[in-house]
Chains A and B, each alone.
Chain A
Amino acid sequence: MPCPFEWKTTAPRIIIVAAWLKRFGLVLALVIIVAALGVAKPGYLEFGNVVIVARQISINAILAVGVTFVLLTGGVDLSLGSLVALTAVITAMFAHPGAYPLIVPLFLGIAASMACGACNGVVITFGRVPPFITTLGMMTIARGLAYVISGGRPTADLSPAMKRIAGDLAGIPIPVLILAGVALATWVILARTRIGRHIYAVGGNENAAHAAGINVRRVKMFAYVLCGALSGLAGIVLVARVESGQPDAGLGYELDAIAAAVIGGTSLSGGVGGVGGTVLGALLIGVISNGLDLLNVPYYYQQIIKGMIIIGAVWLDRRNATRI
């Protein structure tokens, strides 16, 4: 790809700009939105507000990274909102002050969601049930389990160590550090490991991947288990943030997560996308919500503006990508 700032190149300028847009369209959209908000609302670009936005996107971004893996294999996971609730309820139950060391509620919470993710994977790969149906079923099963385990009531009274997960470390919110760790680790998996390459191969063309000797079932299992584990992690962050484990938590989170991934360039039909774009997508959604709240835009208009900005950002991103 030509460097955008080498104006002496023989290619017409428009194509150079377009090529640059192809790579950075979403970043550009984000910059435009942030600049507009900065002008409209002095104080928007303060460090304090940047930290707030980062904190607010962390849960959705962790979920979106998880679902990116599933989308890359050509699947989908609708159960992650319910997995958040299941983990939240289990974690809160074992996190009362003086009950168990912090590792116990964290381990049990994530283990529950991973187990559900593994069930998704088994039914999809061995049972050959479409991912949409399997994870739709798991969505209600996990929600039901959350209600049964909690008796329908929220669980409060959490240990200080548990609440601390929503706190700061050296001025940076711990949820943001968790997100950074997750993003880095998953980026390495996708870009630098064999399983990462296999995920793209399976999503790109499942039959070809199989013919090339890739264990397609193993790859898909990996994606659903990882998505389950990250849903659990997001559930833990949520518990700390609202200081209670609620069986009705995470309603509709799956749509926000899938939206972030798709806005970030991950294809719903698999094989295309990545962690970087997904985090940017989550950031875009978070920046818009935060900005509209700060400007005190009435709710009904917020809905309209949000939709238009999201379509506009992706349009800016994709229009040039397809033409060249």
Chain B
Amino acid sequence: MKTSLPSIVLLLCLAAGCGKPSDPEKTAGSKPLVIGVSLMNMANEYIVNLNDTMTAEAKKAGVQLIVNDARRSAENQVRHIETFVAQKVDAIILNPCEVDASSPAVDKALAAGIPIVNVNSETQSKPTAFVGSHDEESARLAMEYIAGRLKGKGQIVIMHGYMGQAAQLKRDRGARDVLGKYPGLRVLAEQTAEWDRAKAVSLMENWLQTHGDAISAVFAQNDEMAMGALLAIERAKKKDQIIVVGVDAIGDALQAVKDGRLDATIFQDAAGQGAMAVELAVKLARKEAVKPETYIPFQLVTKDNVDKFLKPASR
């Protein structure tokens, strides 16, 4: 445990009115732990949710968070970490902007002997601990759902995101893992709709034109495209024949699941990731051992459990 903190952190603590530990039991007789947080982009709804749970979790644990927004710039992120090192924080939570460009941030923290936890996305340099979810798993869950509904036999079309992006590649890999297990599932066609709803409407119209009644399910790599495909299928009056599944659990998609239009979507657990990141950072600051990698599972959302997810998303 650090015995003294630089005056700037003390000032910050006083200014924030949290100089006193809120949980005297855990931090009895010592100053609260300080954790520096650098977030990728606070304009992103998912990251905002991540921040909310981390703040709540920190309050519960009686530690202080210093949260900085990198606004998508890996360079800002490196600067944040340099400041945290100068402030001698007890641990750092990094939500990396980029795999390569955010790596120096991790290196600098480790060189200064400060434990660093990466949350949600990876960097090339290995941090002390990583908390996230396997993007592959989201597609695997979606495809397993489709396979289950079709009893392992049917013809599928797949809508990809921007070709070559990490999320597209990983979700594709996950989908293929499942397809390999079910020889009865055949991919009729696959194409990119660039994560875009309008492009997905056109693509689905074209597919319905060529493949007609042969399509038994659509797997879209995100919900925007799933919603586009759904609109085209509904307009062709074929929704009763075709299963549509997306990924991300955006507000629109959850509502569509609730209304019985969209069959399923996949929920990525911001709350679970945020809480785990703070828990690990606190443990590391106390020099306790932690697992180097922790994966928070995705969750399948269908009509049966959609109410649980609908509330926080539709603020």
Contacts and interface: CB of A to CB of B under 8 A. Distances in A.
5 smallest beta-carbon distances between A and B, as pairs: A293-B206, A242-B197, A294-B210, A296-B189, A56-B202
Interface in A29-73: 41, 43, 46, 48-49, 52, 55-56, 59
B246 to A, nearest CB: 14
Interface size class of A (residues with CB under 8 A): 20 to 34
Interface stretch (A2-10, A152-160, A263-271): A152-160
Interface size class of B (residues with CB under 8 A): 20 to 34
B191 A296 contact: yes
Interface of B is mostly: helix
B203 interface: yes
Nearest to A41: B210
- Tell me which of B163, B228, B252 has the highest count of chain A C-beta atoms within 10 A of its own C-beta: B252
A43 B210 contact: yes
Contacts of A43: 209-210
Contacts of A48: 209
B198 interface: yes
A300 interface: yes
9 contacts: A43-B209, A56-B205, A153-B45, A244-B197, A244-B227, A249-B198, A290-B206, A296-B189, A299-B160
- Tell me which of B207, B209, B252 has the highest count of chain A C-beta atoms within 10 A of its own C-beta: B209
B257 to A, nearest CB: 13
B43 interface: yes
A294 B206 contact: yes
Interface in A94-115: none
Contact of B43 (A55, A152, A249): A152
A241 interface: yes
Interface in A294-308: 294, 296, 299-300
Contacts of A90: none
B252 A154 contact: yes
B155 interface: no
Interface string B165-206: 000000000000000000000000101100011100111011
Given A52-B205, A55-B205, A56-B202, A244 B191 contact: no
Contact of A242 (B45, B192, B231, B255): B231
A244 B252 contact: yes
